[in-house]
Chain A
Amino acid sequence: MKEKILEVKNLTTIFHNVNQDVTAVDNLSFDLFSHEILAMIGESGSGKSVTNLSIMQLIDEPGEVAPGSRILFRDGDGYINLNRMTEKEMERIRGDRISMIFQEPSASFNPLFKLGNQVGESLRLHGQSTKEEAYQEALKLLEQVHIPNSALRAQDYPFQMSGGMLQRMMIAQALACHPDILIADEPTTALDVTTQAQILGLLKEKQAETGMSVIFITHDLALVEDFSDRILILYAGSLMEEGPARDVISHPMHPYTQDLIRSIPKPGMFKGQDKLFAIPGKVPDPGEKITGCPYAKRCSRCTAECQASRPDITEKNGRKVRCFHAYS
């Protein structure tokens, strides 16, 4: 039996903007198991980043994680609710036990300092080692993430690195303290396909080695079909579909998932011969009041019922779906 490492229950995160409230994450619940790669899929603005920043308790004013939200994190034999932790307690968890890598690698390095020192410094923040020990440890890490000539490259500044190398250094830094959970927020979106394949390989290798769990955020469904164990599909801050990765992609139950898959250009489609499917319309604006199903305006299966009321999640055979007229 796999062990639950994280249980997110009824997570709601609201931004109290001057003119309106924006519910970025709407009553979201999901589990993360040990040794698992969980993919979180959704279009821009669907709430992927906010969900994970909420887990890390990194939501600032005017944002607020609703007090009733429970983020249960496995601690020894029991669970602690991260939404009840003090900032001091969270500081010990962040980086040490839950690490995050961000989409933009340049944002997590200081351009003015040598990379080796920066990775070493982050090791020192979470351990007791001396400066020299930390530096040596940092070199080892860089080698592990396949930075060639790591001793030399550690003397370099961020601008001297390619995007892919920086991304690997960021992974090295995030893995430094052997976290239980690694949150990777679109770690390959800015990279080309060869570098992307290298980064995925590296993540998979490290995951197998350390047994950590990974939340992998992306908007690229094709990427996670065989890379992740389970998939969550988000739309407008709500969970639309959840299930084992392969099943969700080979037999999508939610109309949105199916439309997403159809609208991905596939190699082997050619102009004049194939027509790429396009979902009509656009995602709801932030703060837009939606009474019925959030996907109703764009959905080909939409009925009066969908416009009038919001579907609940139904669960069957390890699959979850929020739709009145789901495919079976």
Chain B
Amino acid sequence: MLTVKDLVKHFPLKAGRFSSSEEKIHALNGVSFTLGKKKTLGIVGESGCGKSTLAKAILGIKPPDSGSVLLSPADTRMQYIFQDPYLSLDPKMQVKDIITEPMRAAGMITKREVAREAERLLELVGLPKDWGTKYPHEFSGGQRQRICIGRAISSRPGIVICDEPVSSLDVSIQSQILNLLLELQEKLEISYIFIAHNIAVVLYMSDIVSVMYAGYIVESAAPQELYANPMHPYTRLLLSVVPEIGKNKRIFEQKITGEVPDLIHIEPGCPFYSRCPVHSDKCRTAIPQLKPGEKEDHSCTCWLYQ
């Protein structure tokens, strides 16, 4: 089990022509959640809302300014899969060494066991088991992402953080990888944090979905509930512009006002205020708290519901 509490991460802006040194980017503004065993927390939100910053803060790659990340003893091993399967594999290493790297780092296997373990892992992620002596450039994008997944699960982590794991892949390969992740979750009892801006993909993969906006979680619910009864005006906007086959949604006719939020000059009140079609004066004065809705496990930060 993973418990994340009040994570805050601000990046200082470099002093220069455009800013004083005091200013900072408010990337993460107090994010909390818990993630249970064998569960998936999906995170959606537009570009720049802080999804990757959250992933990196949890992993300790970019430690948070404040807040805590608590892991149950069984889950101390966390791994990650990032977006670009081309950048995340060392081109000079053989695949068998890449895929077993976390196991060796954790002292789980000796050098002699590498070849055997690599065969097992390659098979697990659906690649021919005798491909261990190949190099990354000999693989397609989808195959590389399979290697990244094999590497991530090799050390038997309790939690794997997937940051846009399929967004650089073709639709036909995307489904293969998503189904592989689900299959491995069943087999190995892994929990995932699954980040993507494709909402359909996140709904499909998750047990609970959190919607992020400007460094806040603004709504959380089970995917069925979020899809059927979105509460937050931002979630409703998001769902209204997701392309859907056969629905004649004419998303190009949706009126979308306002620009993406300014993370440097923070105004008091609700971060969605400038784009919200149903705001009131109150929204400008104070930030709404995360409040449970009528349904169990459905919560939202919006003055409409407080």
Contacts and interface: CB of A to CB of B under 8 A. Distances in A.
A223 interface: yes
Contacts of A223: 243
Interface in B14-35: 18
Given A271-B204, A276-B175, A278-B175, A222 B244 contact: yes
A40 B115 CA distance: 44
B251 A270 contact: no
Contact of A269 (B48, B142, B204): B204
Contacts of A89: none
A132 interface: no
Contacts of B241: 193-194, 196-197
B203 A197 contact: no
A197 B259 contact: no
Given A201-B254, A249-B246, A265-B198, A192 B171 contact: no
A221 interface: yes
A220 B170 CA distance: 10
Interface centre among A43, A220, A267 (most CB of B within 10 A): A267
Chain A interface residue number, banded = 35 or more
B259 A267 contact: no
A77 to B, nearest CB: 34
Nearest to B40: A271
A279 B227 contact: no
Interface string A91-131: 00000000000000000000000000000000000000000
Interface in B46-89: 46-48
A250 B245 CA distance: 9
Contact of B224 (A43, A260, A270): A270
B233 to A, nearest CB: 12
B238 A268 contact: no
Chain B interface residue number, banded = 35 or more
A80 interface: no
A266 to B, nearest CB: 6
B246 A225 contact: yes
Contacts of A221: 171, 245
B172 interface: yes
Given A193-B242, A194-B46, A269 B171 contact: no
B179 A270 contact: no
B99 interface: no
A274 interface: yes
A186 to B, nearest CB: 12
Interface string A271-283: 1001111110011
A267 B172 contact: no
B171 A267 contact: no
A204 B243 CA distance: 16
Interface string B154-170: 00000000000000001
B1 interface: no
Nearest to B185: A271
Contact of B250 (A148, A163, A226): A226
A208 to B, nearest CB: 11
A17 to B, nearest CB: 16
A320 interface: no
A265 B254 contact: no
Given A162-B260, A191-B47, A194-B237, A219 B170 contact: yes
Nearest to B199: A267
B201 A260 contact: no
Interface string A159-197: 010111100000000000000000000000001111111
B146 to A, nearest CB: 11
Contact of B205 (A191, A204, A271): A271
30 contacts: A162-B48, A193-B46, A193-B238, A197-B241, A200-B252, A201-B254, A219-B170, A219-B171, A226-B248, A227-B252, A249-B245, A261-B245, A265-B200, A265-B204, A266-B244, A267-B199, A267-B200, A267-B239, A269-B200, A269-B204, A270-B203, A271-B40, A271-B206, A274-B204, A278-B172, A278-B175, A278-B176, A282-B140, A282-B172, A282-B173
The 4 closest A-B pairs by CB, nearest first: A278-B175, A200-B252, A222-B243, A192-B46
Given A162-B259, A191-B47, 8 more contacts: A196-B251, A197-B252, A220-B243, A250-B246, A263-B171, A267-B203, A270-B224, A277-B175
